[in-house]
Amino acid sequence: MVETFDVVIIGGGPAGYACALKAAQLGLRPAVVEARPSLGGTCLNVGCIPSKALLDSSERFAEVKKLAEHGIIATDVQLDLARMLSRKNQVVKELTNGLAGLFRKGKIALFQGHGRLLAPSRVAVTSDGRTRELTAPSIVIATGSEPAAPPAIRLDGIHVVSSTEALSFDSVPPRLVVIGAGYIGLELGSVWARLGSRVTVLEFLPRILPTADAELAALVQASLTRQGLTFQLGTKVTQINVESGRVVVTAEHQGATQQYEADKVLVAVGRRPKTSEVGLEEVGIRTHEKTGKIDVDRRTYLTNVPGVYAIGDVIDGPMLAHKAQIEGEALAEMLAGHAAVVNYNAIPGVVYIWPELASVGLTEEQLKEQGHDYRVGRFPFLANGRAKALGETEGVVKVLTDAKTDRLLGVHIFGPRASDLIAEAVAVMEYSGSGEDLARFCHSHPSLSEALGEAARHAAFGKPLHF
């Protein structure tokens, strides 16, 4: 029997589930095909959420050391890793169950199994050897991404692992080598360093966080080094050998071969779009030669095959859950006959280390590359009253504006709760606001957000008020 819907979405991650929820709210009949037993994709199951649960728990463990300066004496502090991991699992369970509840409420049909395109309007769902067929005038591919590994490196899931396994080590590895100083490497490297691992990060490039503003990335590196992480930059990992539980990582640095011994190795060198076994070739859907991402019209998310759309990590752009979600919502609106547009210039990015690094818009390097005439405003958290009271004075806000028009071009925050502070900068950029707008907003006092106003004053008027 073939079941008919208005839209069939392959993948129940942030792109797919958001598309389904919105489509249902707008009166369409969506169906979602999801291979995992729970909704939420990588983000909820083995990505953003469990990593944040562990980051928050390990941060508290690390914070205990800072309590003495607040006049609080905490002695005999111990780590109960099993409980920390089960709390993380509980957080994931509650959120994935919550999504399942929203699906029931929205009467969204959920098919658990592997989805594959048979034709532009037909999807086969295979589960336990049984195949059923769904049909709809619109099919959405939202299959996400999976960890990538260099060809010479084999992930065994025990000693040489991806982020998925690094969220569930059952004991703290005494020596952890992290390959790649990107989002995952720094976040999970931080978790295990806080819990007691000796963490060495090997990075191919001469800097960490290649897409971040270089000035702030350097501050992040110095901060994490103080927290006990070791960085080996310009270091290309060529081989990993596992012998009786002992892992040896071989790397090249300035023409010389180096070896690192470890108990666990986390490979975090990027993710690749998940496009195999979805039936792309059979239906003739075009992918990008180099990145393997599905080619779409960036405004409509339509592939080269009429009726087939793609959103989230499988298409161009940063592999971020909120970017995927906003694309899912926009596509649902368009499928329901409404207008929708995603502003790709105002998508924030956050690295949830401590202090956090959050940014939106262009970096100083990008402005230089584009030959843009720009102004820079900075304000250190050291001069912010709330940061002082919190005892969290590390970091800086950096505001970049157009030198002629004062339009806000980029905001980069390295500091406490930068993930929340960046929202204000996103709003100003979304409305094409200026540095002066950000400077003149009334920021509550005392609050960390005042540092944004001060950095904007620096850019717009040449000086912060507290100078």
Q: Using CB under 6 A as the criterion, which residues of the chain lie in contact with ligand NAI when the complex forms?
A: 150, 179-185, 187, 202-205, 210, 236-237, 268-271, 318-320, 350-352
Q: How far apart are CA 395 and CA 413, in angstroms?
A: 8
When the beta carbons of 138 and 235 are compared against ligand NAI, the nearer one is 235
Q: How far is the CB of 233 from ligand NAI (least distance, A)?
A: 9
Of 362, 418, 424, the residue nearest 394 (C-alpha): 418
When the beta carbons of 8 and 319 are compared against ligand NAI, the nearer one is 319
Q: How far is the CB of 293 from ligand NAI (least distance, A)?
A: 12
Gap between the terminal Cα atoms of the chain: 72
Q: How far apart are CA 137 and CA 261, in angstroms?
A: 55
Of 5, 58, 11, the residue nearest 273 (C-alpha): 11
Q: CB–CB of 254/234 below 8 Å?
A: yes
When the beta carbons of 49 and 136 are compared against ligand NAI, the nearer one is 49
Q: How far is the CB of 149 from ligand NAI (least distance, A)?
A: 9
Q: How far apart are CA 239 and CA 218, in angstroms?
A: 28
Q: CB–CB of 49/92 below 8 Å?
A: yes
Q: Residue 34 is which amino acid? A: E
Q: How far is the CB of 41 from ligand NAI (least distance, A)?
A: 12
When the beta carbons of 204 and 441 are compared against ligand NAI, the nearer one is 204
For residue 385, count CB atoms less than 10 angstroms from its CB and return exposed for 0-12, middle for 13-18, buried for 19 or more: middle
When the beta carbons of 237 and 331 are compared against ligand NAI, the nearer one is 237
Q: How far apart are CA 69 and CA 30, in angstroms?
A: 55
Burial 362-383 (b: 16+ CB within 10 A, else e): bbbeebeeeeeebbbbbbbbeb
Q: CB–CB of 49/128 below 8 Å?
A: no
- Which tokens hold the place of 202? 């090997």
Q: How far is the CB of 211 from ligand NAI (least distance, A)?
A: 7
Catalytic site residue 445?
yes
Angle at alpha carbon of residue 18, lines to 16 and 20, rounded to 5°: 70
User: What residue number has its CB nearest to ligand NAI?
Assistant: 182
When the beta carbons of 268 and 283 are compared against ligand NAI, the nearer one is 268
When the beta carbons of 67 and 152 are compared against ligand NAI, the nearer one is 152
Q: How far is the CB of 359 from ligand NAI (least distance, A)?
A: 11
Contacts of 279 (CB under 8 A, 6+ apart): 116, 117, 118, 124
Q: How far is the CB of 362 from ligand NAI (least distance, A)?
A: 17
The one catalytic residue in 70, 445, 458, 466 is 445
Active site residues: 445
